[in-house]
């Protein structure tokens, strides 16, 4: 909290920031002149990974908003100021009087316009822009914010339900029927991050086949025991453990490119891409995975996944990742290539759908045609850092651990 004189206190963003992200103010919960209470949520800042509420540093009145909704901000920026002088109430809205005209007839604003003005009194600038752009009446929208306030997301939900943007009269006869869903800040940030990764790193992908028979049998035998101790034994748990073993063999996969050299990390911090129920993607990170056994990985992964889908991750939960896994097979994909590298990392593992396939395998010392649970696994690399030989060595060790332990 910083006092600025004249009874003002700065509202400052935290100095911590997730790697590779852009901070944007998504919503102010208060308007200028509103009373605020110390530690109550004042605004929300969004990145491509997590939304963070910023609390009021003191009680008083919101005196200034220096950064508006949609503005890009940096850690440590001053975004607003709170006046410590309390007790003053905002000036009451002036009553609109009918003004006599030259012809002696009084003219008053239309009733519908008055209703919209009243309903719009507590709306944020971003909400007002959307209402105007889509010609929406705020009195017809149910607000889910504090005290019934209409939020930016409330308006986007209405638009997503099929409200069309008004088209110019000349274009209405020829336009193809459609509707537009505004981008969320998370989707904008993901798009920027993906484009940046493809422009910086030359992507190359290797694909291997993996026999999952061993881990299927192990999971069937141990799933109940894990659940009784408070952990879900999913197949992704095995994929993380196998990645740790593969990184031990090819350390360059757990690194960061610098123009003057390669920074190879001692800790193996594995991010697992997690799809969110309302769209978007987030990558919570299992810190120091090399120190965890299978049960420890299951505990950590389950906790992170649950909190990611409930929107309760902390910024530290998505920081310091050194390697990423995309288990895209859970939604039915066999092979995805290239999976875009999560910059500034240098490789990303993709695991496809498990399916029973006919293969040639050794059974009791004889080569036989059998069916096995199989999946395709890919490693997309930054070719500045890794070559095909290293990518194949990584995947060979990953497949070996999955198949034989």
CB atoms within 10 A of CB 120: 16
Catalytic residue among 203, 303, 306, 383: 383
194 sits in which H/E element: helix 185-200
Based on the residue annotation, tell me whether 77 is a catalytic residue of this protein. Answer: no
Cα distances from 173 to residues 112, 146, 169, 278, in angstroms, run 28, 42, 8, 34
The rounded distance, in Å, linking the Cα atoms of 76 and 356 is 53
Nearest-CA neighbor of 335 among 227, 235, 209, 184?
209
Q: Are the C-beta atoms of 390 and 346 separated by less than 8 Å?
A: no
Catalytic residue among 71, 267, 278, 387: 387
How buried is 277 (Cβ within 10 angstroms: 0-12 exposed, 13-18 middle, 19+ buried)?
exposed
The rounded distance, in Å, linking the Cα atoms of 28 and 352 is 41
- Measured in Å, how far apart are the chain's first and last C-alpha atoms? 53
Nearest-CA neighbor of 250 among 65, 66, 72, 396?
396
The rounded distance, in Å, linking the Cα atoms of 343 and 188 is 16
Based on the residue annotation, tell me whether 383 is a catalytic residue of this protein. Answer: yes
Residues 6+ positions from 71 with CB-CB distance below 8 Å: 24, 25
Q: Are the C-beta atoms of 165 and 134 separated by less than 8 Å?
A: yes
The rounded distance, in Å, linking the Cα atoms of 222 and 235 is 12
Question: What three-state secondary structure class fits 170?
Answer: helix
The rounded distance, in Å, linking the Cα atoms of 76 and 305 is 29
Structure tokens of 31? 């308007």
Strands 285-286 and 323-326: unpaired
Q: Tokens 């590298």 label which residue? A: 341
What is residue 83's DSSP assignment?
Answer: E
Question: What three-state secondary structure class fits 349?
Answer: strand
Residues 6+ positions from 96 with CB-CB distance below 8 Å: 108, 109, 114
Q: Which residues are catalytic?
A: 383, 387
């Amino acid at each position: 909290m910083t006092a600025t004189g004249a009874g003002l206190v700065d509202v400052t963003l935290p100095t911590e920031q997730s790697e590779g992200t852009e901070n944007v103010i998504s919503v102010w919960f208060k308007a200028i002149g509103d009373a605020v209470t110390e530690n109550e949520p004042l605004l929300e800042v969004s990145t491509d990974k997590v939304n963070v509420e910023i609390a009021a540093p003191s009680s008083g009145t919101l005196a200034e908003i220096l950064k508006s909704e949609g503005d890009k901000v940096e850690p440590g920026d001053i975004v607003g100021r709170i006046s410590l002088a309390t007790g003053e109430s905002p000036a009451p809205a002036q009553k609109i009087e009918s003004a006599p005209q030259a012809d002696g007839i009084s003219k008053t604003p239309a009733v519908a316009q008055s209703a919209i003005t009243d309903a719009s009194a507590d709306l944020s600038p971003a909400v007002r822009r959307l209402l105007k752009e889509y010609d929406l009446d705020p009195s017809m929208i149910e607000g889910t914010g504090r005290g019934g306030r209409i939020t930016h997301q409330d308006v986007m939900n209405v638009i997503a339900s099929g409200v069309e943007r008004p088209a110019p009269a000349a274009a209405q006869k020829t336009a193809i029927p459609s509707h537009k869903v505004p981008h969320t800040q998370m989707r904008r940030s993901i798009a920027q991050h993906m484009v940046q990764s493809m422009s910086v790193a030359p992507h190359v992908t290797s694909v291997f086949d993996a026999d999952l028979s061993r881990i299927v049998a192990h999971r069937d035998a141990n799933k109940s025991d894990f659940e009784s101790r408070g952990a879900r034994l999913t197949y992704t748990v095995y994929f993380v453990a196998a990645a740790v073993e593969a990184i031990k063999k090819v350390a360059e996969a757990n690194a960061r490119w610098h123009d003057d050299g390669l920074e190879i990390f001692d800790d193996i911090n594995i991010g697992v891409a997690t799809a969110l129920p309302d769209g978007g993607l987030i990558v919570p990170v299992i810190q120091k995975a090399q120190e965890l056994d299978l049960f420890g990985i299951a505990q950590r992964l389950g906790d992170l996944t649950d909190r990611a889908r409930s929107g309760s991750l902390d910024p530290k939960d998505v920081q310091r990742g050194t390697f990423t896994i995309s288990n895209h097979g859970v939604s039915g994909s066999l092979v995805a290539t290239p999976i875009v590298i999560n910059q500034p990392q240098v490789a990303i593992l993709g695991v496809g759908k498990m399916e029973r396939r006919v293969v040639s395998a050794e059974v009791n010392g004889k080569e036989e045609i059998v069916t096995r649970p199989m999946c395709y696994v890919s490693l997309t690399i930054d070719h500045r850092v890794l070559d095909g030989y290293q990518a194949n060595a990584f995947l060979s060790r990953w497949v070996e651990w999955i198949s034989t332990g």
